[in-house]
Amino acid sequence: MKLLIDTNVILDMVLKRSGYDISMELFRKVRETGAGAYITASSVTDIFYIIRKETHDISRTYVIMENIFQLVSVLSVTEKDIRDAFGQKWKDFEDCVQYMTGKNSNMDYIITVNGKDYADAMLPVMTPAVWIEKAAFIEE
């Protein structure tokens, strides 16, 4: 099972925002079930920028990013992903690029705390809490 993890899930966990404990539990369940967790290359730059902005510490930002890379693999964003996203005309182009990258990379689920951002997605979209609940049935 392959999960595309939205940027906000990573940021919630790293910055200890509301719901960070659920994001932490998500990654524990990913490890337990052997599921694959992925983020897009465009998410890497967004995450880096936001962590750097919040921490004001470049060295700490690199350490945090190294820890993130222990949890996820990075999907390349291709020209096809960009063109496919552009053709969809979503309000949030960034989310559409993530979606098209996930779709074109055969992800099984998109995990996000902002499901409304993926209202037009053809892949199943769920919150970390819902996927954790689903994972409990996978283990049985």
59-66 average pLDDT score: 97
Q: Kindly report the average pLDDT of the chain as a whole number.
A: 94
Nearest to 19 by CA among 138, 136, 132: 132
Split at pLDDT 50, 70, 90, the class of 120 is: confident
4-59 confidence digits (pLDDT tens): 999 999 999 999 998 899 999 999 999 999 999 999 999 999 999 999 999 999 99
DSSP secondary structure, 120-132, as one string: T-SS-EE-HHHHH
DSSP string, 10-23: HHHHHTT-TTHHHH
What are the two backbone dihedrals, phi and then psi, of residue 113, each rounded to the nearest 5 degrees? -95, -5
What Cα–Cα distance (Å) separates residue 113 from each residue in 5, 23, 110, 131? 10, 10, 10, 11
Q: What is d(CA 129, CA 107) in angstroms, rounded to the nearest whole number?
A: 18
- pLDDT at residue 112 is higher than 60: yes
- pTM of whole model > 0.75? yes
